[in-house]
Structure 1
Amino acid sequence: MTSIDRRFFLRAGVAAVGGAVLSACSTSESTTFVQPGGAQVRAAEAARRPGSVREFRLLAHEGRADLGGPTVRTWLYGDRLPGQVIRVANGEVVRARLVNRLPKETTVHWHGLALRNDADGVPGVTQQPVPSGGEHLYEFTAAHPGTYWFHPHHGTQLDCGLYAPLIVEDPAEPLGYDEEWVVVLDDWMDGVTGTPDDVLAELTAMAGMTTGGGGHDGHGGMAMPTPTPTASAKWPHMMMNAESDLLGGDAGDVYYPHFLINGRVAAAPETFTAKPGVRVRIRLINAGGDTAFRVALGGHRLTVTHADGFPVEPVETDALLLGMGERYDVLVTLKDGAFPLVALAEGKRGLARALVRTAKSARTPQADARPDELNSRIVGYDQLKPAQDVRLPQRAADRTITLNLTGTMAKYDWAINGRKYDPKIIEPIRSGERVRLSFVNQSLMWHPMHLHGHTFALARTGLRKDTAIVLPGATLDVDFDADNPGLWMIHCHNVYHAEAGMMSLLGYQA
């Protein structure tokens, strides 16, 4: 949300009660929506049967991060990058106190969790932004086991260092494995080539610079410079040659000088050490702002067990593609030696990497090594099926909401249904409905679309996810049961597309 949007909320007289923002805006003057702190939200939380409380403190502040050589000044949670993992058991209550020592206001969004609405962290919708020097208490039941993460939902702050994993463990975990490794992928430019706000300013400044002719992929007739694999002196934050068949053409538009795994550049990778034969659960999280990653572990096949926190029927693959906001869990039995875990920045020149070492004497793979597995079998949505116990029951949709994904790079007018985000426009739904969201991508760019507060099922396969890639020119239908009352955001998880306007709201009718 831009600063203009935030001022709009304040001018509109948004009222705060118990830390939740109450909005009477709607598509219809007569429509009344369930409020984030309302009785229905409290009842839904009570139905989750909250367990014991686990307390955490999140210090958001400006600090220095060592990326494994390059040292940058950025915004962090605590003193590390990524922030310290929050780990709780299924059914436990997360009580997290955000202490804002940033120079600007902020919030925290708990990505992927079906949590109570007033803890969702969307400024002007579920809470007021937390001012510099202020504090805010988030409290919610972690109702579903899985791999999640948290980050700001305010401006471009996600593309700083403000992110960390949230792992909800299952006390009756059915998977058998010996060790676990949480792997967070990121694209990095903050403190190196500028700031995320600089990137957004550059992208929006190019709006209207069009010609009558065709343009480069999704750039819609723009008078573009000669394509290059990196940024130019005139446009230091924009790439012009990021192309990927997997993503339908244009892979992204933001130039990043570094790509990271767990906060480290490829030249100084994190090393996971174990014995040969150890069975490891790797939890993969893409925390990037504008980059999809193709991930593989050299010399190994991966068994996919979860997508966005929910179990799938196990499938073997050589590599995985993760859009921004997506998570996958995989199992792998480690061989004897030293192997690169490589996250190729899809369509961009660069990679992140970590090392897996099971033999001290094994030769370390070269920093630019690209395992053959990256170009072998890549499992997609159509090859993944949900585990039987998380399948949505067969049922016709009670309501279909069509979400046309519109815009071009030329005008940087990313939007839903041709309309930039407007908090006054809320798509109504009712508790108990089966809702179908039909994402119709009318643009020439791919978009990882994320729904807050719910996990949907892909209509074709039933795969459960909360973030899904919609390719250019494609339609993706997803279904969810309206069982978590409140006001919920749906948006592109490319942080710059979202900030430009590709966001909307769903609201439960009271």
Structure 2
Amino acid sequence: MSPVVNRRSFIASTAGLAAAASLPMPAWARGQSLPHARNGFGELAGEDLSLTIGDAHFTTGGRSGHAFAVNGTVPGPLIRLREGQDVRLHVTNNLDEDSSIHWHGLLLPFQFDGVPGVSFPGIRPGETFTYEFPVRQTGTYWWHSHSGLQEQAGHYGPIVIESAEPDPRYDRDYVVLLSEFSPMHPHEIMRKLKVGEHYFNRQMQTATEGDMPGAERRMWGAMRMNPRDISDVTGSTYTYLVNGHGPADNLQLAFQPGERVRLRVINGSAMTFFNVRVPGVPMTVIQADGQDVDPVEIDEFQIGVAETYDVIVTPSAGSHAITAEAMDRSGMAVASLTSHPGHIAIPPPLREIPTLTMADMGMMDHGAMGHGSGEMAMDHDMRDTSKLPADVAVGPGLDMIAPAPMDRMDFPGLGLDKVSHRVLRYTDLKAARSNPHRTVEREMEIHLTGNMERYMWSFDGKKFSAVTDDPIRFGYDERVRVKLVNQTMMAHPIHLHGHFFELVNGADHMHQPLKHTLVVQPGGSATFDLTADEPGDWAFHCHLLYHMHAGMMQVVTVRPFPEGEGS
């Protein structure tokens, strides 16, 4: 057997549960000694798979509460598929409420995309729905509920699609699925956010704290905003998880010295941006959202909700902390990548809490805001809706606009713009294979809008419930350039179902990287090129769960259907 085939024979599952017959591993590496192994995930593979959704009780550290389990675990099982196969997934709902599964990032007929009210009616209690589609791609993806707020409570899991050809770039393969757990019911979290958007923030800046100039501080006050308003839900209620394990669970992922280890990092959280690093170990990014990119060596990257990044590391002998620090620095998810049985890596301490800047309000720099008599003028400018296009609805759902939104594709993420080591930026990504070049036929602009005090979120000032009869329309195979303009002071990971789009990130037209989820930075803009070649009705939304639930969602419809395909 070739070395590649040997490697394939012992690819480990995400919780370190599998090992090669040709390279015997001790029991600890197979997971027997891992705390809460019952809450890790197993693995399903093949062409005919069954998933069952049910109620469960989940515990990690000192927190315990209700959860939605799939096949009895939180997260649910890793689904391992292979390029070119046809798959049937039978999903049974044993809850007392409707449910669903969306196959995030997968190319498939829209009827099997799994969004109730958009592409199918949902799965009623006691019923089974069969998803059936050909596997047309490779890479790292994930699945999750698109019903209510079930995703927050454990209804999610990873997907790995193997290439038909072996990949010689690595020797060992792990999924690193990042998420959160709260003992608080998701609907109670939503209720508290509607009552007060700062409810979970224990890190608000006081009137005298920090070195912010007085004029700037007064401006923040005049806008009724706080420069530490970074995350809606924080470590005050969340325990951050790796593969369903909190920091106290001491999750260990085994490796042998000298091995090249592929980490398939998935942000399967409901609300958390993570800053991911393995201190002292460089990472080489090889995929973004399941799509190959030219290798980029970095030391840290920020991953938005619903994004995936695949990296290769070659750790030295010992134990290394896989660290996923929440963007607001209110906690972290941790696992140990170790070559020594039972050795736990010590993660670095939480770093200083980041603070929003004038750029996050869509201002060029401090000079752009003015001082003295200019303070209130700028405050007025941030509510001057005359600057918005006519198709943006002005009303209670829109409480500010960015005076001068700039393209922020080169921004590495809040808190990472001033670190001394190498941090991934969208402008670093370049498609590994050339894309067919096509001229853009049409351009459109979509504004990300909100009222944080009322916890209202929308596209173009219109909540989803108000726009269901007015979808975003693309002609089949139309080539469109879409500019997203973030009029709010929060980062939004925007996801388009059923398609990959090309980031307009400075790469040449043939090598713009493909993604399915794009983080639009506060007060900034981001642009992508879309070839609308997947007919049907597709969800388009912010992947911050409570933002989507509060209205930041739309339907994209691609018509007409090609000849021979029905609606």
TM-score of the aligned structures, taking structure 1 as reference length? 0.78
CA deviations on 1:42-90 (whole Å, 9 max, x unpaired) are xxxxxxxxxx970111110001234366443211111222111110111
Instruction: Tell me the equivalent position of 2:34.
Output: none
Instruction: Please say if residues 266 and 367 of structure 1, whose CA atoms lie closer than 8 Å, have aligned partners that are also in contact.
Output: no
Q: Is the partner of 1:414 in helix, strand or coil? A: strand
Asked if 1:305 is matched to 2:286, the reply is yes
Q: Which amino acid aligns with 1:205?
A: V
C-alpha separation in 2, matches of 1:365 and 1:320: 20
Could you tell me how far 1:410 is from its partner in structure 2? 0.7
- The answer to whether 1:431 aligns with 2:411 is no
| C-alpha distance in structure 2 between counterparts of 1:203 and 1:370, whole Å | 25
1:199 maps to what in 2?
Answer: 189
* Distance apart, 1:356 and its partner CA: 1.0
> Is the contact made by 2:287 and 2:310 (CA closer than 8 Å) also made in structure 1?
yes
Instruction: Decide whether the 8 Å contact of 1:290 with 1:494 is kept in 2.
Output: yes
Separation in 2, partners of 1:91, 1:425? 36
Q: CA 1:270/1:360 → structure 2, altered by over 3 Å: closer, same or farther?
A: closer
Mean CA deviation greater in 160-169 or 418-427: 418-427
1:455 aligns with 2:434: no
Report the RMSD for the aligned CA atoms in angstroms: 2.3
Moved more, 495-504 or 424-433: 424-433
Q: Is the 1:97–1:136 Cα contact (8 Å) retained in structure 2?
A: yes
| Contact 2:171-2:260 within 8 A present in 1 as well | yes
Contact kept, 8 Å, 2:66 with 2:153, in 1: the verdict is no
Cα deviation for residue 175 of structure 1 reads 4.2
Alignment of 1:29-428 (within 5 A): 54-67=47-60, 70-189=63-182, 192=183, 194-206=184-196, 228-229=202-203, 250-255=229-234, 256-360=237-341, 364-366=344-346, 369=349, 375=419, 376-387=421-432, 389=433, 391-421=434-464, 422-428=467-473
In the alignment of these two chains, the number of paired residues is: 420
Q: Residue deviations 1:99-138, cap 9 Å, x none? A: 1011210111000111111000111111002111111111
Using the alignment, how far apart are the partners of 2:552 and 2:201 within structure 1?
26
Structure 1 residue 293, shift from structure 2 partner: 0.4
CA 1:58–1:225 in structure 2 vs 1: closer, same or farther (change >3 Å)?
closer
Per-residue deviation, residues 132-161 of structure 1 (Å, max 9, x unmatched): 111111111121101010001112111110
Distance 1:173 1:424 in 2: 46
Give the SS at the match of 2:263: strand
Letter of the aligned partner of 1:129 in structure 2?
A: G
Relative to 1, partners in 2 of residues 1:506 and 1:283: Cα closer, same or farther, differing over 3 Å? same
Deviation at 1:370, TM superposition (A): 6.1
- Provide the secondary structure at the position in 2 that maps to 1:505: strand
User: Which stretch of structure 1 is more off in the superposition, 172-181 or 308-317?
Assistant: 172-181
Are residues 1:440 and 2:440 paired? no
Take 2:470 and 2:294, find their aligned partners in 1: how far apart are those partners? 39
Checking the alignment, whether the CA contact within 8 Å between 1:296 and 1:319 is kept in structure 2 is yes
Say whether the 8 Å CA contact 1:408–1:444 is kept in structure 2.
Answer: no
AA aligned to 1:252 is: S
**1:407 alignment partner, SS class:** strand
Q: Call closer, same or farther: CA 1:226–1:179 in 2, change over 3 Å.
A: closer
Q: Is the 8 A contact 2:201 2:233 kept in 1?
A: no
The answer for unaligned runs of 5 or more in structure 1 is 1-51, 207-218, 231-247
Distance 2:477 2:306 in 1: 27
Deviation per CA, 1:396-416, whole angstroms, max 9, x where unpaired?
Answer: 211223211000211212000
8 Å CA contact 1:491, 1:503 repeated in 2: yes
Paired residue for 1:10? none
Letter in 2 for 1:161: G
Residue matched to 2:3: none
Relative contact order: is structure 1 or structure 2 higher (C-alpha 8 Å, sep ≥ 6)?
1
Identity score, percent: 34
CA distance in 2, matches of 1:458, 1:404: 17
CA gap 1:225/1:500 in 2 versus in 1, 3 angstroms: closer
Point out 4+ residue stretches in structure 1 off by more than 6 angstroms: 224-227
Deviation at residue 384 of structure 1 after TM alignment: 1.4
CA distance in 2, matches of 1:173, 1:481: 29
Q: Which residue of 2 aligns with 1:44?
A: none
Deviation at 1:170, TM superposition (A): 0.3
Shift in Å, 1:371: 10
Whole-angstrom CA distance in 2 between matches of 1:72 and 1:345: 22
Q: CA deviation at 1:508?
A: 1.6
Specify whether residues 166 and 337 from structure 1 end up closer, same or farther in structure 2 by C-alpha distance, changes over 3 A only.
same
Supply the distance in 1 between the matched residues of 2:152 and 2:142 (Cα, whole angstroms).
Answer: 14
For the Cα contact (< 8 Å) 1:261–1:269, is it kept in 2?
no
Structure 1 residue 474, shift from structure 2 partner: 1.0
Residues 292-311 of structure 1, C-alpha deviations (whole Å, 9 max, x = no match):
00111122000000000000
Task: For residue 57 of structure 1, give the secondary structure of its aligned residue in structure 2.
Answer: strand
Give yes or no for contact 1:296–1:371 (8 Å, CA) kept in 2: no
